Chain A
Amino acid sequence: AQSVTQLDSQVPVFEEAPVELRCNYSSSVSVYLFWYVQYPNQGLQLLLKYLSGSTLVKGINGFEAEFNKSQTSFHLRKPSVHISDTAEYFCAVSGSGYSTLTFGKGTMLLVSP
């Protein structure tokens, strides 16, 4: 069985500041890892994904994440956030081969001027 833990339900940050959203997972098999963003009343948009290879993954909108197998983490980072980054962010895991996704509870990123 797989599980995802997003420790922070809400992360407030000022515009142009750096941010890190934390994600830890547990799985007994090899995994694929994902970060999605959800704007109010909208579906999910894929920010980035880790399948294999380089542990540093770059995504859209200036986001990146680093896969750390020993710490079973996949934290999302952005060096300088914008007001428009305010949204809900979900970390998700699936078995290799794109099997069913298991989502974390989400982290609300609140960017203020």
Chain B
Amino acid sequence: GAVVSQHPSRVICKSGTSVKIECRSLDFQATTMFWYRQFPKKSLMLMATSNEGSKATYEQGVEKDKFLINHASLTLSTLTVTSAHPEDSSFYICSARDRRVSNTEAFFGQGTRLTVV
């Protein structure tokens, strides 16, 4: 399957600072990227969907000013957690697909463990 690389795999930041998570599609063009948040022992919660060159579409209850998503190229999307607080600590996972290619699912990155102290 196609490869999606997510970086960093884990990050610790101080409360009040911002942290950026990158999601790259290595061997395909990702027209659409998805960002998920996973709480301990919980399922994946879709935060937002981004299409290359367009503004992201956020799910209900997700603060778009806090979780900034940029999808400026067909191989890179970034999630920036602004003014992070301990309650933002979580596991964040991206996935990517090329919607122009039929019969292909989204592929997932390795996830980023964010700890805000």
Partner-B contacts on A (CB < 8 A): 32, 34, 36, 41-46, 49, 51, 90, 97-98, 100-101, 103-106
Contacts and interface: CB of A to CB of B under 8 A. Distances in A.
Interface in B41-68: 41-44, 46, 49
Interface in B96-111: 97, 99, 102-111
B113 interface: yes
A43 B111 contact: yes
Contact of A43 (B46, B104, B108): B108
Contact of B1 (A46, A103, A105): A46
Interface of B: 1, 4, 6, 9-10, 34, 41-44, 46, 49, 91, 93, 95, 97, 99, 102-111, 113
B106 A98 contact: yes
Nearest to A98: B105
Contacts of A32: 105
Given A36-B108, A43-B93, 4 more contacts: A34-B105, A45-B108, A49-B105, A101-B46
Given A41-B113, A42-B110, A43-B6, A98 B104 contact: yes
B57 to A, nearest CB: 10
Contacts of A98: 97, 99, 103-106
A103 B49 contact: no
Contacts of A41: 9-10, 91, 111, 113
B94 to A, nearest CB: 8
